[in-house]
């Protein structure tokens, strides 16, 4: 099912920029990519950080 949405010009320029940078085929793919990015970045999670291990904890608050 297709539908039309109304966005302001600055939002359209942003979507175009992301679409071109990511080499996506449609605005639909672009919006999905942005949503997925948002889901992955919730709660400040950083994929680059290693999993915490108590043995490597340098704070030693115990």
The residue extents of the domains of the chain are 7-37
Per residue in 18-60, pLDDT (tens digit) is 999 999 999 999 999 998 887 655 555 666 777 767 777 666 6
Closest CA to 31 of 56, 11, 57: 11
pTM exceeds 0.85: no
């Amino acid at each position: 099912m297709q539908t039309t949405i109304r966005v302001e010009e600055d939002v359209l320029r942003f979507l175009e920029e992301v679409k071109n940078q990511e080499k996506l085929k449609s605005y639909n793919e672009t919006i999905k990519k942005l949503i997925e990015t948002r889901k992955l970045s919730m709660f400040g999670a950083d994929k680059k950080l290693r999993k915490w291990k108590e043995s490597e904890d340098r704070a030693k608050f115990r």
